[in-house]
A and B are shown apart, each in its own frame.
Chain A
Amino acid sequence: MSAPHLVIRRADWFGREKDLLMADGRVLELADHDPARSFGDAEVVEAHGAVLLPSLVDAHVHLREPGFEYKEDIASGLKAAARGGFGRVMAMANTSPVNDNADVTEAMLDTARRAHPDGPFLHPVGALTRGLKGEELSPMADMAQAGCIAFSNDGLPMASAAFFRKAVEYAATFNRPVIDHCENPTMNPGCGVNEGEVSSRLGLRAQPWVAEAEQVARDCLLAEFLGLPIHLAHVSCRASVDCIRTAKARGAPVTAETCPHYLTLTESSVEGYNTLAKVNPPLRTDEDVAALKAALADGTIDILATDHAPHADHEKETEFEAAPCGISGLETAMSLTWPLVESGLIDRERFADLWRHRPAELFGLEPVRLEPGDAADCILFDPSAGWTPSPDSLVSKGKNTPFRDTPLKGRVTAHVLGGVRVF
């Protein structure tokens, strides 16, 4: 056995004090901490009792390159991923040009490799339809070969069930799951605010939960009928959760994600026309938050994802109805979701499932459990470290978070990919 190159010392691994020994990009050993042990020439990172976890996977981000580099580019987005604890991010296709052909896919991958050769790694999600227009299928065979690991019309949801069915079947031909942004566009008069008490009072065009749940129900039935996987993106409301739970009980191969902001905020965050809380789907009610939490705990929701959606300040500093939807989420995700563990809602195993093991399993990524021989991909997270998201403290170009200037607790303190520190 070779000697370790990198060692993380005295880390908290599921409640036990461990030393993680890494060499040649792989895990050598995750050993009980031994104060007497020497590691030769290895670089030693003192964890000081910080929590050790496998590096996380974010199945839903918007990196904005090509086309909207002023909001975010691949280099800045991956830098934010490194800081947030994400070693792999799945980037949605609503760029300009749209990622609907292998040339764009390859260009994105090439940019990512040049900007961050050691990672974090980009995994493109190809457009399900050409130009995301919902009219023609995209060349999924080509794109799968070029590196797209899933397909989605995220950003421009499709109303036609018949055409969506064809798209799911075609993607399955190449073993690629489809990720659906569940929103019936014909039921949505507005955007970014839940249709309810707050929108009625503020006089805003709003999104009813039924526009989401109705399409979730459709997708659940379709997945069951076809026997093909459909992954439901950023689920936000109780009715959707109930549909998914029923569908799973019936054996439908549906899986679902929700995002940190749907677990922590409600529609009241848009009071005062706060465009930083404008997100699609919108923030809902306390009842929805409670249902999402229960669904995380009982496994109805399979994974967490950020839906990182960076925008420039000038785009958000405008009338509510004119502002774009989205929250910059990569860097705050751990701080916002670790309290689920501390509150006892889920245990650390489930936390690691939600952010790492299940997404890897769903989208065909290498499993990492920090067992000997696994990729040396890990993070250290200090649950007691305080910080405040601000334009200065965020490395993403997107400073658009409703947690701006809100003190948060818990921060990633180190990030190793393939045995190399990327943060």
Chain B
Amino acid sequence: MTREDTPTWPHKDLLDVDQLSLEEIHRVFETALSLQEINQRPVKKVPTLRGRSVVLFFAEPSTRTKTSFDMAGKRLSADTFSLAQSSSSLTKGESLKDTALTLQAMSPDAIVIRHWASGAAQFLAERLECSVINAGDGWHAHPTQALLDGFTLFQEWGTLQGKTILILGDIAHSRVARSNVNLLTRLGANVRLCGPRTLLPHDTSSWPVEVYTDLDKACRDADGVMCLRLQLERMQSGMLPDLREYARTYGLAPRHLERAADDCRVLHPGPMNRGVEIDSALADSLSSLVLDQVSAGVATRMALLFLYLTRTEAS
């Protein structure tokens, strides 16, 4: 027997962070740490994944995540291909099953999927032989974002154990919040959610979180605050009256950090609506980890592509 028969990474797909054990989450972080060094070199490319092909299938626009994956793949010398599917309504266009069959026929090594429908990544994973990496499905999950957020904080603090992290904003419609609740609590953090009732999920009884509607209370002794991007259509759908009121009641401002723990860190998955969910000065302040998140995103995605694409090889 050779070691080559033993999978070194036991997962075919990354649908959400709850598939990963605590050990595996740390392995992603450690791999990201070791790969991050490549991003500081003059020549930011290693041949690790040469000859491997990664399809970036984005059925919903997201320049940031897509660029981050594209860069991560290219730095490891994988060939990346973009496949766009515009979808303005639920039923328009090619069916996801046909898309899956088409993708299968191209035999890529991995597919990174962003889709408007919750469960779309799982749907593909059940039908494809290659790895499926969920880059955000509907309101459901965004595991790579959660991992990069966790990695950012891990780099900052060394551990998340016992830290209190507030996730602020539109929780109900946020895949980032769902995956982060899962990941951060598993890493030992206490997670709080805060937003107006219209933007909180109806039933979070099974979520290991504390829920607040009062931002001042929610910020008390927080070690980190993660702002979410506010979708402007929440006004039209009657969940908020206007941006000004939202900014005044739920926009994170320097005064909130006075109640928080010393050195409270501020995160935002981007792109930011400055002056709405976060005070502009705060976004640029020393407390802000927003740009660290972007760098961590490339490193984390490099780590994930490495682990998933070499999963059946010797370590």
Contact = CB atoms under 8 A, between A and B. Distances in A.
Contacts of B91: 322
A204 interface: yes
Contacts of A321: 90, 117-118, 138
Given A202-B140, A203-B140, A319 B203 contact: no
A322 B91 CA distance: 6
Interface residues of A, number: 20
A253 to B, nearest CB: 34
Given A202-B140, A203-B141, A203-B175, A318 B202 contact: no
B117 A201 contact: no
A159 to B, nearest CB: 16
Interface string B95-106: 111000000000
A314 B97 CA distance: 8
Contact of B118 (A196, A197, A203, A314): A203
Contacts of B254: none
A204 B122 contact: no
B301 interface: no
Contacts of A151: none
Contact of A200 (B137, B138, B203): B203
Contacts of A314: 95, 97
B19 interface: no
B2 interface: no
Given A203-B138, A203-B175, A273-B118, A319 B96 contact: yes
A203 B202 contact: no
A201 B178 contact: yes
Contacts of B201: 200
Nearest to B138: A203
Contacts of A199: 202-203
Contacts of A208: 202
A196 B203 contact: yes
Nearest to A205: B139
Given A204-B139, A319-B117, A273 B202 contact: no
Interface in A187-203: 195-197, 199-203
Given A318-B97, A322-B90, A322-B91, A202 B202 contact: no
A344 interface: no
B18 to A, nearest CB: 10
A322 B117 contact: yes
Contacts of A272: 119, 122
Given A272-B122, A273-B118, A204 B138 contact: yes
Interface in A330-371: none
A195 B122 CA distance: 21
A320 B123 CA distance: 9
Interface string B170-210: 00100100100000000000000000000001111111000
A317 interface: yes
Contact of B204 (A195, A200, A204, A320): A200
A266 to B, nearest CB: 14
Interface in B51-86: none
B215 to A, nearest CB: 22
29 contacts: A195-B203, A197-B203, A197-B205, A200-B172, A200-B202, A200-B207, A201-B206, A203-B137, A203-B138, A203-B141, A203-B175, A203-B178, A204-B118, A204-B138, A204-B139, A208-B202, A272-B119, A273-B118, A273-B119, A314-B95, A318-B97, A319-B96, A319-B118, A319-B120, A320-B118, A320-B119, A321-B117, A322-B90, A322-B91
Interface of A: 195-197, 199-204, 206, 208, 272-273, 314, 317-322
Interface of B: 90-91, 95-97, 115, 117-120, 122-123, 137-141, 172, 175, 178, 201-207
Q: Which 5 A-B residue pairings sit nearest by Cβ, starting from the closest? A: A273-B119, A203-B139, A203-B140, A319-B117, A200-B201
